[in-house]
Homo-oligomer: A and B are copies of this chain.
Amino acid sequence: MTPTAILLVHCSDQKGLVASVTTFLATHQANILDLDQHVDTSMNMFFMRVSWDLRGFALNEADFRSRFNSEIAHPHQMTWDLYFDAEPPRFAVFVSSLPHCLVDLLGQFHLQIPVVISNHADLGDIARRFDVPFHHILVSAQNKPHAEAEQLDILKSHGVEAVVLARYMQIVSPEFIDHFPNKIINIHHSFLPAFPGAKPYHSAYHRGVKIIGATSHFVTAELDAGPIIEQDVVRVDHRDEIDDLVRKGRELEKRVLSRAIWAYSERRILCYGNKTVVF
Contacts and interface: CB of A to CB of B under 8 A. Distances in A.
B231 A211 contact: yes
A24 to B, nearest CB: 8
B258 A233 contact: no
A15 B31 contact: yes
Interface residues of A, number: 68
Nearest to A20: B26
B208 A275 contact: yes
Secondary structure at chain A's binding surface: helix, strand, loop or mixed? Answer: mixed
Given A18-B18, A254-B251, A233 B233 contact: yes
Given A22-B19, A26-B19, A32-B18, A209 B228 contact: yes
Nearest to A37: B35
A235 interface: yes
A229 B278 CA distance: 23
B22 A15 contact: no
A257 to B, nearest CB: 11
Interface in A236-279: 237-239, 241, 247, 251, 254-255, 258-259, 262, 273-278
Contacts of A78: none
5 contacts: A15-B31, A18-B35, A99-B109, A191-B191, A209-B228
Interface of A: 15-16, 18-19, 22-23, 25-26, 29-42, 47, 99-100, 103-104, 107-109, 129-130, 191-195, 207-211, 213, 227-233, 235, 237-239, 241, 247, 251, 254-255, 258-259, 262, 273-278
